[in-house]
Amino acid sequence: MNLNYAIFRSQPIMTINDLAGIGSHNKREKQSYKSNPDIKKELSSNNIELVPLTEKYVRGFYNKTIEYKKEFEERMKTEREDRKRTFREILDKSKNVVADELLFTATNTFFKDMTREDIKVWADTCMDFVYNDLGYTKDQVLHATVHLDEKTPHIHCVVIPIVKKLDKRSNSERYTISKKQYIKDKNHLSELQDKYHKRLISKGYDLERGIKNSDNENINLKEFKKITRKLNNELNVKNERLNKSLEVFNEKMKTSKEVLLNKEYVKIKKDTFDSMNNVIKESKKIMDMQPKLNYIYKEIDNYSYSYRSIKRQKNNLENEIEYLQYKNEKLENENRTLKNKIKAILKAIKTFFRQILLFGNDKAKEATTNEIMAQYDNKNFTRKDVVNISLDTSSEEKLFDYVGVEKEYVRMKHSELDYDSKEKDDFKLSR
């Protein structure tokens, strides 16, 4: 009886940092995996590279998206300053994924008597699904590997769903990364899981389609009832057939006149004998169904336990996030207070420097002038600060020249002026 299930799942990778972490896991770059005791590092050399990647995931990603990056950076040249972003920023902050990880496996017993070569043939069938059913090209596959160093063999296939789409705003085709071009939604994923199962069946693999929606965080009550109702109906039908067969057999035994029993043989009518065989047949059907019932209920129980565990982890993470948000808010408040203090201190220093330039002796003025230049070079003072400190002092000309301000320009029409430097350092001066 077939109790092995075909499993295909999809896990979005949202940021470059996430991609790096997944790459480290998939390529077994760590010396040990204390958090995952199922990984046997001594067996990692047996893992099968379906689509090898010699470099790090992030470097491989950038190599496969080089045209996208060029197009993006060219577009940024004409973008407003406040809208300019780096390629990394646009990838991390986008609602789209940066990559998608496809997981292929089956129930552990499916692999029981398979050799490494047998598993490679199965894995190649899974990759055929990636290329022919999902529609990815080989150039879009960043890395694909079969892990044989864990309890159950499985495939990690990381793809970059990069496509060219029409941008309505510019009415031109632009590169983007969009998982929805390949897996539209949960319903589409379920359809693809059907196709994956059919592909494996067509290649002669004795596998059942996995329980629908089993890759959700929880099997919902509706789905649970649907599974159990189907099994209970099947069991009820078989019980009813068995009861009818028993009734028929009992009636035949009562009315049969040609029944002869002795130590050597039994003689009964053919239709009575047939009814007895029917009872045996129906009984056997029910007995055959019991292991499947037990297995399904065990699977549901395992899923339930697994998802409860995930839910607990999720709750723990939510609590941790809430704590981090609290800490972040606290740090922001402290930082804001610190900035205000620094601002007040700088204001006092600027006033102090101006007082020295106005009333100090020559040696103090020279030392202060040099210090103002140093603070400007270190970007602690802006051009506006230097002008306001030195205006109408003996150091005015020297400091104006140092920061590139024309004296006549500062003293022109009225007492307030706007000055726009190359560094976008706008300021107003008041006397």
Task: Give the C-alpha distances (Å, rounded to integers) separating 283 from 84, 169, 177, 238, 297.
Answer: 74, 69, 57, 8, 21
Contacts of residue 32, defined as CB under 8 A and 6 or more positions apart, other chains included, come to 41
Start-end of H helices in 183-261? 186-202, 221-255
Task: For residue 172, give the H/E element and its range.
Answer: strand 172-177
- 210 three-state secondary structure: coil
Give pLDDT tens digits for 272-331. Answer: 667 767 777 777 667 766 666 666 666 666 666 666 666 666 676 777 777 777 777 777
- Model confidence at 421: pLDDT above 50: no
- 200 close to 6: Cβ distance less than 8 angstroms: yes
Architecture of the domain delimited by 5-210: 2-Layer Sandwich (3.30)
pLDDT band at residue 419 under the 50/70/90 scheme = very low
The C-alpha atoms of residue 417 and residue 429 are separated, in whole angstroms, by 6
DSSP label of 376: H
pLDDT band at residue 40 under the 50/70/90 scheme = confident
Segments making up each domain of the chain, as ranges: 5-210, 234-326, 360-428
The C-alpha atoms of residue 45 and residue 199 are separated, in whole angstroms, by 29
